[in-house]
Structure 1
Amino acid sequence: MHRPMEGVRILEVAQFTFVPAAGAVLADWGADIVKVEHAEKGDAQRGLVRVLGYDTANSSFAPIMEGPNRGKRSVGLALERAESRPVLKELVRGSDVFLTNFLPAARRKLGITLEDIRAINPDIIYVSGSGFGTEGPDTDKGGYDATAFWARGGSAFGTTPREAERVSFMPAGAYGDNIGGMTIAGGIAAALYGRASTGETSEIDVSLLAVGAWATQFTVNMALARGEAMPAQSIDRRSQSAANPLSGNYRTSDGRWIQLSMLQAGHYWPEFCRAIGHDELIGDERFATDELLTTNHNQAIDILAGVIGEHPLEHWRAALKDIRGQWAVVQDSWELGTDEALTANGRIAEFVDAEGKTQKLVANPVKFDNAAVQMSRAPGFAEHTDEVLHELGFDDEQLIALKIAGAIT
């Protein structure tokens, strides 16, 4: 059962990445996702041509749309027009899940609140992705991942050294959105299981702020236990190593970085010293025991920094390849996209785009039954309106009338 969501119909009234990313994951898992887009404007994200300074489109292939929308069908529907209501009702009646990230005021205006949707389909699972949750003072406020997840959610503070002159920014576009989308997908899977087991439906909300707090929970929990904020990190690598020379990052001679994470330093010290070609450090009296290695960690760090800084990254890839201790290269986006482990496990998946060209995208991280992900491209704007409405029982004359009324595209 490598596509466990086959047979599940999800109606998505959402845009940008946060909630649509959940639909993409569920599409990877086999669900039929019908994406409702504004009848004239479409998903607002289709208009973004530059994100974080990068061009987002390459011909008809736009990763910013393909990533969170692959495998879906698009319907252009003017929810603000009364003529579209019969279409919406049929879509809701035939769906297991209603998925949205519209703000409460917009949902009330468009008639897609929980009460509106449940009046049509009492058993539907209603899911909202929000900035700050469905309760509290900020329930009506919008939020992007840069604000709700990254800044307010603690990651910006946690990744900014106290000596920095500016706050660090997210390492990738839609960083928190994609993490949040995966969280929503898991919540939907749990709700579907619960409904199948008990017959009771669910209302789900996942906020970017809550996802941010979950991601940074270690320091949040520590702060709550201490009764005060945890201090900002120092840019000094000695502070980052936590008195462990085998837990931290080191720069190679060609300006690359390797990250060590050997939490039991004394256990791995002999093997690591042999791997870097300095057996003499094994018997060095300064590092002879765990206690001494901890006490003299600054000296050990200086020695390792000097040794690692003598050779380029490829030298260390080969030297450290087979050691038991945990380490990794600090990879760039191309290296990650071509990573052998990701490729071998099918987490970089191929599909054919609208022009018939083979493209690649990062697959969702969950692998079922060691099977490859079956991925198809993102839909063009309103590409499947006629197809989906025909499935709902609308004939050609009704489609023409709806188009003339401006209710569908």
Structure 2
Amino acid sequence: MSGLLDGVTVVELASWTYVPSAGAALSDWGADVIKVEDVRGGDPCRNLIVGGLDPADSRVHASVLMEIGNHGKRSIGVDIKSAMGRTILGELLGRADVFLTNWLPGPLARAGLTVPQIREFNPDVIIARGSGQGSRGPEKDRGGFDAASYLARAGVAHALTVADQEFPVTQTPAFGDLQGGITLAGGIAAALFHRERTGHAPIVDSSLLAQGMWAVAPDIAAADYFGIDRIPVGPAGTAPNPAVNRYRTRDGRWVQLVLLQADRFWRGFCERIGRPDLGVDERFTPLANLVVNQEAATAELRHTFAEHDLSHWQQALANEPGVWATIATPREVLDDPQAQANGYFLTVTDDAGQQYRTVSAPVQFDETPPPPTRAPEYGEHTEEILLELGMDWDQIIAAKDAGAVL
């Protein structure tokens, strides 16, 4: 039942990853997402170099971020600033359920796509907007990327940077974008439900700033409640509860413990790691004593975990009822049997016959993964979509000759 949004048409006028990733999620859930790209090169994300990785060195013909943020869509190349292109966009919007965009208010107004103008094409279309800082206020027309609007401005970097670090934490590509995109997709789904119930098509707004603030909402609330800049944390590698901490193994890997109810799990855990003495040590039981003597307990656990490789601890803790996990590498995640069993990967074949995997939207319905789909080539579906709009081949050729479509 991955096609809950079968029959829903989304017209996407957006680039990069944040808002397009919302469209990818809607596509995973069954919507027909039509990506409108310009006639001068399309979404700049198509040419983005991630982490200095040369696409020529990849074993597959696919762009990492383009696939994640755009799989399952259809692409049409249109010059929406031309009269013919605007007519085509109007036809698309007239048939759409959702207009999804990351264009800021100023560019939308210059393109003749204010809310009233969009409503002229279709009074029932849901308008969904994703921005850096929100659709109102003095900086509504200021652009944003997740490293700035999410990580920096929303307080995420400050909240995650420990006191003895020389530099603030950084992020992997699209870290805030993808969180923001799935949130925006959820908002659109709620708007579709509301329209179905009431007939009213709401405007949906979200931003990277809002997403970042939500990610560190406890820190922001504590700042107000206690007049502090962050929830107190100890030096790197420490934790108030030593049973909720990370420990390095002999081979340089890490085990994350999350034994929040230490009184429930501590004794059995200590037996499993070969230290039954710690389980009955009065310094470490009950939890209040474990917290008071956290330095001694942490030192004992560090020493113990450093005696064996990760494989030993994975076997020793296999039946541990408390929560723990290996700090996995992305390559290990590709082989995670739990991720595979739940269909969290989309396995696609490129034009050279090479299979590659990307990650699907993190919500499924009736335990059914979405069908595997790739991102569209630039303008790949232009003619197909124009034919669906009722244009004949002479009209399509004329539009191409005029530069109105790709």
Note whether the superposition's TM-score is higher than 0.5. Answer: yes
Give secondary structure in 2 for the equivalent of 1:375: coil
- Report the residue type matching 1:334 in the other structure: R
Q: Which deviates the most, 176-185 or 358-367?
A: 358-367
Correspondence for 2:184: 184
After superposition, residues 123-202 of structure 1 pair within 5 angstroms as 123-170=124-171, 172-202=172-202
Q: How does 1:366-405 map to 2 (within 5 A)?
A: 366-405=363-402
Partner of 2:51: 52
Matched, 1:287 2:284: yes
Give, in whole Å, the separation in 1 of the partners of 2:253 and 2:28: 35
Residue equivalent to 2:208: 208
Counterpart for residue 83 of structure 1:
84
SS in 2 for 1:360: strand
Distance across 2 between alignment mates of 1:272 and 1:363:
35
Aligned to 1:25: 25
1:335 to 332, 355, 366: 332
SS of match in other structure, 2:110: helix
Alignment correspondent of 2:302 = 305
Match of 2:272 in 1: 275
Contact 1:92/1:98 (<8 A) preserved: yes
Structure 1 counterpart of 2:243: 246
2-structure distance, mates of 1:124, 1:356: 39
Give the total of aligned pairs: 404
How far the C-alpha of 1:285 sits from its partner, in A, is: 2.7
Task: Provide Cα deviations, 1:339-360, integer angstroms capped at 9, x if missing partner.
Answer: 1111110001212223343221
Deviates more, 1:161-170 or 1:14-23: 161-170
CA–CA separation in structure 1 for the residues paired with 2:236 and 2:377: 49
Aligned to 2:6: 6
After TM superposition, give the deviation of residue 363 of structure 1 in Å: 1.2
Displacement of 1:232 in angstroms is 6.5
Contact 1:157 1:232 in 2 (8 A): no
Q: One-letter code of the match for 1:217?
A: A
8 Å contact from structure 1 (residues 158, 232) kept in 2? no
SS at match of 2:245: strand
Bigger shift: residues 19-28 or 262-271: 262-271
Provide the C-alpha distance between the structure 2 equivalents of 1:366 and 1:205, rounded to a whole number of angstroms: 21
Q: CA offsets per residue over residues 20-53 of structure 1, 9 Å max, x none? A: 00010011001000000011211111121x2233
CA distance in 2, matches of 1:180, 1:287: 41
3-state DSSP class of the match of 1:51?
A: coil
- Contact map agreement 2:146 2:175 (CA 8 A) in 1: yes
Q: Conserved in 2, the CA contact under 8 Å of 1:268 and 1:325?
A: yes
TM-score normalised by structure 2 residue count: 0.96
Residue identity in the other structure for 1:304? L
Q: Which residue of 1 aligns with 2:70?
A: 69
Tell me, in whole angstroms, the C-alpha distance in 2 between the residues paired with 1:234 and 1:55: 40
Q: Is this contact kept in 1: 2:346–2:373, CA < 8 A?
A: no
Is the 8 Å Cα contact of residues 265 and 322 (structure 2) preserved in structure 1? yes
Structure 1 gap ranges (5+): none
Q: CA deviation at 1:295?
A: 2.0
Report the secondary structure of 2:283's partner residue. helix
**Shift of residue 234, structure 1, vs aligned partner:** 4.1
Q: Is the 8 A contact 1:16 1:44 kept in 2?
A: yes
Most deviating of 334-343 and 140-149: 334-343
User: How far did 1:316 drift?
Assistant: 0.6
Partner SS for 1:354? coil
Counterpart AA for 1:329? T
Distance in 1 separating the partners of 2:26 and 2:372: 11
Q: Alignment RMSD, CA only?
A: 1.4
2 CA distance for matches of 1:347 and 1:229? Answer: 37
1:231 shift after superposition: 5.5
Structure 1 position 117, deviation (Å): 1.0
Give CA-to-partner distance per residue, 1:97-133, whole Å, 9 cap, x none.
0000012221112222222211110000001110000
Structure 1 residue 56 displacement after superposition: 5.0
Report the AA paired with residue 373 of structure 1.
P
Partner of 1:113: 114
Q: In the alignment, does 2:221 pair up with 1:221? A: yes
Shift, 1:224, TM fit? 1.4
Distance 2:285 2:81 in 1: 74
User: Which residue type is aligned with residue 188 of structure 1?
Assistant: I
Structure 2 CA distance, aligned partners of 1:221 and 1:399? 56
Identity over aligned residues, as a percent?
42
